[in-house]
Amino acid sequence: EAEVAQSPRYKITEKSQAVAFWCDPISGHATLYWYRQILGQGPELLVQFQDESVVDDSQLPKDRFSAERLKGVDSTLKIQPAELGDSAMYLCASSLKGATRHQETQYFGPGTRLLVL
């Protein structure tokens, strides 16, 4: 069964350093999402791509976070500089394009757990 791939699985960094996370969605999935999940809370959408275009990044702290999906396939999320409050799980998800029930399903990757010291 196809899966969303993410790397690295774990990342420890010091504050003020730069970090980058990579996501490869399920083949054929036009929509890609980056979420941040703080322990004990639900995932919070940071950015959503439709193919290579950003359709929503209203919750992305743009002074330090950036995301790209240059060829409409895999994606990279970057934080520079990292702050202590960025410690969280960063989840990538993908879904088919459209609005049907089937296309509503989001498939999540295993996530990258980030610890900022």
Partner 1 sequence: GQSLEQPSEVTAVEGAIVQINCTYQTSGFYGLSWYQQHDGGAPTFLSYNALDGLEETGRFSSFLSRSDSYGYLLLQELQMKDSASYFCAVRGGTGFQKLVFGTGTRLLVSP
In the complex, which residues of this chain contact partner 1 (CB under 8 A)?
Answer: 40-45, 48, 55-56, 58, 91, 93, 101, 104-111
- Please, what is the minimum distance in Å from the beta carbon of residue 61 to partner 1? 16
Nearer of residues 47 and 79 to partner 1, judged by Cβ: 47
Whole-number minimum distance, CB 103 to partner 1, in Å? 10
Please, which residue, 14 or 44, has the CB nearer to partner 1? 44
Residue tagged 């995932």 (tokens):
43
Residue whose tokens read 């993908």:
94
The nearest distance, CB 114 to partner 1, in angstroms, is 14
Q: Which is nearer to partner 1, 71 or 101 (CB)?
A: 101
Strands laid side by side in the 19-24 sheet:
5-7, 19-24, 75-79, 65-68
Q: Which two tokens stand for residue 48?
A: 């959503």
**CB-CB neighbours of 74 under 10 Å:** 15
Distance from C-alpha of 26 to C-alpha of 4, rounded to nearest angstrom: 5
CB of 20 to partner 1, least distance (A): 20
Strand partners, 23: 6, 75
Nearer to partner 1, 47 or 82 (CB): 47
